Amino acid sequence: MEQTIVDVNDLSRMFASKRALDGVSFRATAGQVYGLVGANGAGKTTLLKHLLGLLRAATGSVRVFGLDPVRDPVGVLSRVGYLSEERELPEWMRIDELMAYTQAFHPTWDTSYARELLNTFALDPSKKIKELSKGMRAQAGLLVAVAHRPELLILDEPSSGLDAVVRRDILDAIVRTVADDGRTVIFSSHLLDEVERMSDHVTLMHNGRITLSGALDEVRRGYQRSRVRFVEHFDQPPSLDTALAMEGGGRTWSVVHSGSLEQFNHSVLALGGEVVESRDATLEEIFLARAGRSRQQVEAA
Amino acid sequence: MTLRSPTSAMLWGLWRVTRVEAALRLAVGVVLPLAALTLFAVFAPSETAEWDEDIKNIATLLLFLPHLVPWSSHARLNHFTRPIRTATMVGLPTAYLIAMSVAIYLVSAFLLKVTSGHPFSLLPAAAWIAALHLAFGPIGWWTRNMVVVMLGMLVVLFTWGSVAGSRLHSFPNDVDYPLTDYALIALFGLVCFSVAVFAAARARRGDAHSMSAWTPGSGLWEWAINLFRFPCPTSSATRAQIWLDLKANGFPVLMIGVVLAIVILLLSAIGNPIDAAFQDEIRARLSCSNSDCFWARAWPVFFTGLSLLIALSLARNAFGIRSRYGRTYVSAFETTQACGTTQLAALKVLVKSCCVLAAIIAIGVSVWISVPLLGDPVFIQMFNVPLSSRLPAISGAIAALTVYEQLSLVVLAIGGVVIWVAACAVIGALRVRHSRRVYIAASSPLLFGLALVLVGTAQGEGIVSPSVFFAMLAAARWIFLAALAAMVLTTVYVFWIGFAERVLTIRYASAAVAISAAFGAAWLTVLHMAGVQLAWMSAIAAVSILSPALLPPFFSVLAPWSLHRIRHL
């Protein structure tokens, strides 16, 4: 049976009058990589902060390793590695001091792995944090987040500030190593290609809600992008069953749709059109289609 | 809101970032002198003629106090990338800050003039303050090195103090500048402004760094952090946390305390030769009540008071709360380390307390050495006490105490510092969560005190009936008792909820109870030493005098709870 690492149930959170999380339920099991995707203000960071106990659940519950991170911060945080979005590290500290300080809190600290990462990132241990560039700061933060080999690695926008090489080669390798060791990674990102590349599971958030969640392959299989040609000229997008987003004009439209292709074909035929070609939608297309639909729903409400 | 020009946008931005500091400066400028005047009115000795003059001089100094340091909050606005001229970038904030300082001074001086009837200087003092802030401008734009900035400030204060002193008819209110002085001030302002624009232009094109807002972790503070280099222990989380707090929060405070102590000692050492060298000039300018006239020897006395204020002000923010773009928060780096909240709060408060205590001890030792160097006449003229020759008597009195009594004094001193550090930390933490409520709670007693003073003054003038004043005094007593009851209830509630939420541990609670008991016993001993007989007092008076013993349990439960509230928002 899969071991549950994170179990979030019906979690809601308000910031003043803004609903940051609205009935979010999320489960993560051991050995998997979970990617959180969403627009700015979707609630990704808020959800991650609840997992760390930095925010307390207003309604609903959060359990990490079966513990409440607010009531038992030591029990949870000693098994978690965290890289914050702001890369908040003490400016005056040197990298070797940062490593020593973090090591003291984690008996599982792997000195040789830390040294290896230090070399991989080409970081000078005698440099102060304030002397580092944004990317180097991210690397230093990543180093201390993973060097104690945490059971759960939480990365908030890990690629922010990292160059393409570090992002593709090193970050991917670190995340895969953690997952292959049977440990869990949860990360948030704006970069859909990165989520597509690194995750086993994807969770799409919009306006504080989870609008889509599942194994990456299943999610991708559930959506297609089809090119449709009609006999009639349409000034406005025609109404098609299961269509999430449409672009184009006149007689030819590109449609991102969910459900079976057969059902969609029927819908197109009913309007006197035909499906010219169809393929699996990319994550970006799914994201844009879902986010756009949610936005329309909100506006309509 | 529509802002039609860059100027109005800049002024709006300046108002937004400086309004809290402006309110603070106004509050300090009004409340401190009023408190001094009120205390004097309540506890005035019978021979008040000389005391009356002294207390009004102190009130004037307190009135000036908020204007002796440059503004800091405006530095959060960086206009380097705005499409405006450098002269505008420098000139508008400078003009705004000068106008604010002058307005704050005039309002507070006018209010004091109305309440006390004392003729506080208005226009000449306002001109002096304006010139002082003009002089601060170039320093801030020229460098961000805090040592240079502080030295520059001292030079400006010293020079400007001398200028005011040269036009002084009677200290400190009767200052009168001839028109030529105003012309000189204007010329000086022009020079300062030109230098500031030049320095800002250098900083704008990246040739130099200008002063940014002072925050822990930059400038002098960071220099002090790096002064003490010792490796972070990796053997335990507690040791690593102590290392971090010592480096980031403790040693800089200690270092500043030691520097202040050395400055007091140096000022005392050079005071005698300076006064001796300029004895005739000093005698010509100041009216001396005794044969030995002094001027330079007064500086260590003032500087000692200032040093203690600095040491106590450095005790704030033990939890390391940060402020950025108007948002206050606790660093995610520390709060995501695997350390219990109670342990974290206790370590932070204790480490900071130790260093503040060490800084105060350094200042105290320096004062103890300096007093004989200054001689008795200084203290006789300033405080009517021959302090220098009384030092052996003070030492003898302390030595004559029993060990238990000496221990009680030590416990009270240490406990006082820890309570002060914990109180500052708790208020800072609660401000993050409930800023409006904290401001209301803090300003309510101040406003009530102000109302009490105003009604008391009006009653003295016969405008208000004495019954109103006495009703307010009675209300103050009941408010105090209600506050004590609220403290007790809060302590019990937080104690209970702390255990319910697993914030407090049995070990911590036991330590807090033991420390509170020790503080309470020490307080009773000191009351006994002072000859206070609780049995002869009314119940209200006895409760009031025992109330300080409530502070250790109150803050020992509130400190971890408040950190818990900001760690898990």
How much is the average pLDDT of B70-81? 72
Question: What confidence category does residue B212 fall into, taking pLDDT thresholds of 50, 70 and 90?
Answer: very low
Note every long-range contact of A279-282, with CB atoms under 8 Å and residues 24 or more positions apart, other chains counting: A279/A224, A279/A225, A279/A226, A280/A220, A280/A221, A280/A223, A280/A224, A280/A225, A281/A220, A281/A223, A281/A224, A281/A225, A281/A256, A282/A192, A282/A196, A282/A220, A282/A225
- Give the per-residue pLDDT at A138: 86
B227 shares contact with chain A (CB less than 8 Å) = no
- Asked if B450 contacts B26 with a C-beta cutoff of 8 angstroms, the reply is no
Q: Does the pLDDT value for residue B3 go beyond 70?
A: no
Tell which B residues from 339 to 378 touch A, by Cβ distance under 8 Å: 339-341
Q: Does the pLDDT value for residue B172 go beyond 60?
A: no
Q: Does the pLDDT value for residue A295 go beyond 50?
A: no
B237 shares contact with chain A (CB less than 8 Å) = yes
- Asked if B69 contacts B147 with a C-beta cutoff of 8 angstroms, the reply is no
* Pairwise CB contact (< 8 Å): B218 & A53: no
Best mutation target, A70, A143, A156, to test chain B (most B CBs within 10 A): A70
User: For residue A98, what is the nearest residue in chain B, using CA coordinates?
Assistant: B232
B325 shares contact with chain A (CB less than 8 Å) = no
Measured between alpha carbons, how far is residue B136 from residues B70, B156, B203 in Å? 6, 7, 17
- Give the per-residue pLDDT at A176: 81
Q: Which residues of A touch B (CB under 8 A)?
A: 52-56, 70-74, 77-78, 80, 82, 84, 86, 88-92, 97, 100-106, 109
Residue pairs spanning A and B at CB distance below 8 A: 86
* Pairwise CB contact (< 8 Å): A72 & B502: yes
- Asked if A3 contacts A54 with a C-beta cutoff of 8 angstroms, the reply is no
Measured between alpha carbons, how far is residue A281 from residues A188, A197, A219, A226 in Å? 21, 15, 9, 9
* Pairwise CB contact (< 8 Å): A102 & B337: yes
* Pairwise CB contact (< 8 Å): A97 & B232: yes
Question: What confidence category does residue B77 fall into, taking pLDDT thresholds of 50, 70 and 90?
Answer: low
- Asked if B415 contacts B435 with a C-beta cutoff of 8 angstroms, the reply is no
- Give the per-residue pLDDT at A297: 42
Is A11 or B76 the better-scoring residue by pLDDT? A11
How much is the average pLDDT of B295-324? 84
* CB-neighbour burial class of residue B10 (10 A; exposed 0-12, middle 13-18, buried 19+): buried
Is A40 or B1 the better-scoring residue by pLDDT? A40
Positive or negative: CA dihedral B225, B226, B230, B232: positive
B331 shares contact with chain A (CB less than 8 Å) = yes
Q: Tens of pLDDT along B338-355?
A: 888 999 999 999 999 999
- The token duo for B472 is 């307010």
Question: What confidence category does residue B241 fall into, taking pLDDT thresholds of 50, 70 and 90?
Answer: very high
Query: Distance between CA atoms of B416 and B551, rounded to whole angstroms?
Result: 9
List the single residue in A55, A74, A104 with the smallest CB-CB distance to B233: A104
* Pairwise CB contact (< 8 Å): B340 & A74: yes
- Give the per-residue pLDDT at B50: 59
How much is the average pLDDT of A105-125? 90
Q: Does the pLDDT value for residue B1 go beyond 60?
A: no
List the single residue in A88, A91, A105 with the smallest CB-CB distance to B338: A105
Q: Identify the bridge partners of residue A228 per DSSP, sorted by sequence position.
A: A253, A275
User: How close A298 gets to chain B, by Cα (Å)?
Assistant: 27
User: How close B432 gets to chain A, by Cα (Å)?
Assistant: 14
- Give the per-residue pLDDT at B214: 43
Q: Does the pLDDT value for residue B362 go beyond 90?
A: yes
List the single residue in B244, B340, B569 with the smallest CB-CB distance to A55: B569
Tell me, yes or no, if the pTM score tops 0.90.
Answer: no
DSSP class of A129: G
Q: Tens of pLDDT along A207-263?
A: 888 888 888 888 888 888 888 888 888 888 888 878 888 888 888 888 888 877 888
List the single residue in B225, B234, B568 with the smallest CB-CB distance to A55: B568
Q: Tens of pLDDT along A45-80?
A: 999 999 998 888 889 999 999 999 888 888 899 899
CATH 3.40.50.300 correct for A4-218: yes
Q: How far is CA A294 from the centre of its chain?
A: 18
Q: Which amino acid is at A32?
A: Q
List the single residue in B218, B234, B501 with the smallest CB-CB distance to A103: B234
* Pairwise CB contact (< 8 Å): B337 & A77: yes
DSSP class of A128: B
Is A261 or B404 the better-scoring residue by pLDDT? B404
Query: Distance between CA atoms of B445 and B569, rounded to whole angstroms?
Result: 29
Q: Tens of pLDDT along B535-565?
A: 788 888 888 888 899 999 999 999 999 999 8
List the single residue in A73, A78, A104 with the smallest CB-CB distance to B341: A73
- Residue A79 sits at φ, ψ, to 5 deg, of -110, 5
Query: Distance between CA atoms of A233 and A251, rounded to whole angstroms?
Result: 5
Name chain B contacts of A90, Cβ cutoff 8 Å. Answer: 217, 244, 248, 331, 333
What percentage of chain B reaches a pLDDT higher than 70? 86
Q: Tens of pLDDT along B457-514?
A: 777 777 778 888 888 888 888 888 888 999 999 999 999 998 888 888 889 999 999 9
